Chain A
Amino acid sequence: QSALTQPASVSGSPGQSITISCTGTSSDVGSYNLVSWYQQHPGEAPKMMIYEGSKRPSGVSIRFSGSKSGNTASLTISGLQAEDEADYYCCSYAGSSTLVFGGGTKLTVL
């Protein structure tokens, strides 16, 4: 149950697009299309932004999208807005009914 690897921080200017990577192994991200992404603002509970790799829950902006290639999943945010500044976490099914989170990425909107 080793944590998935995310960049510690990413940044972008309003209106730009950014991508956050989430690298696992062939035992987790690479084997299942079961990656979810969470946004967490300081002092708040996490909010699910993407599930099953690329599905967007009702109410989540279409600016958020998810994808996967091999052992790496990605979250792309287009048209960056100030309110997107937050911590983002990926989570993957890791087999044997276990889940594993990434270490988290701090997004700064410049």
Chain B
Amino acid sequence: QLLESGGGLVYPGGSLRLSCAASRFTFSSYAMNWVRQAPGKGLKWVSSISGSGGGTYYADSVKGRFTISRDNSKNTLYLQMNSLRAEDTAVYYCASSVGGHYHYYGMDVWGQGTTVTVSS
């Protein structure tokens, strides 16, 4: 129901935009999240957005560099990543929120992930 795309290899300081296409649920009724996992490491919350898109929230580590957005007419979530660093290398997952418009109740549907590698 969630399919990420847009990952790849990028130089430090570069930019990348991830997409997450949703199907088979009322996309605009659910807050959405991005979670990443560095190679061999644990899960880290990156960013969340309300169902309307009016509320956006970020981890300190990406604030000012990443921008989350959504196009409810296209059932698609985005993550614009600028000024990328080696430590941003990870699998990036999108996940929908079980709490409807609120992102903090839990993440019940996950995509398969897209890999971002930041390296020279």
Residues of A within 8 A of B113 (CB): 45
Partner of A36, one of B55, B57, B59, B106: B106
Partner of B98, one of A45, A57, A100: A57
- The count of chain A contact residues (Cβ–Cβ below 8 Å) is 27
Size of interface on B: residues with Cβ below 8 Å to A = 26
Residues of B that sit less than 8 Å from A by CB: 33, 35, 42-45, 48, 55, 57, 59-61, 93, 95, 98-99, 103-108, 110-113
CB distance from A67 to the nearest CB of B (A): 15
* Minimum distance in angstroms from B106 CB to a CB of chain A: 3
Q: A32-B104, A51-B106, A103-B42 are in contact. List 5 more A-B contacts (CB 8 A).
A: A46-B110, A48-B98, A51-B105, A100-B45, A101-B44
Q: Which residues in B have their C-beta under 8 angstroms from that of A51? A: 98-99, 105-106, 108
Kindly report which residue of chain A lies nearest to residue B107, judged by CB atoms.
A48
Q: What's the Cα separation between A81 and B59 when bound, in Å?
A: 36
A93 at the binding interface (Cβ < 8 Å): yes
- Complex interface residues of chain A between 1 and 51 (CB less than 8 A to chain B): 1, 3, 32, 34, 36, 38, 40, 45-48, 50-51
26 contacts between A and B (CB under 8 A): A1-B60, A34-B104, A34-B105, A45-B110, A45-B111, A45-B112, A46-B35, A46-B93, A46-B95, A46-B110, A48-B98, A48-B110, A51-B98, A51-B106, A51-B108, A52-B105, A91-B45, A93-B104, A97-B55, A99-B48, A99-B104, A100-B45, A101-B35, A101-B44, A101-B45, A102-B42
Assess the B42–A97 pair: CB atoms within 8 A.
no
Is the beta-carbon distance between B98 and A97 smaller than 8 angstroms?
no
Residues of B within 8 A of A32 (CB): 104
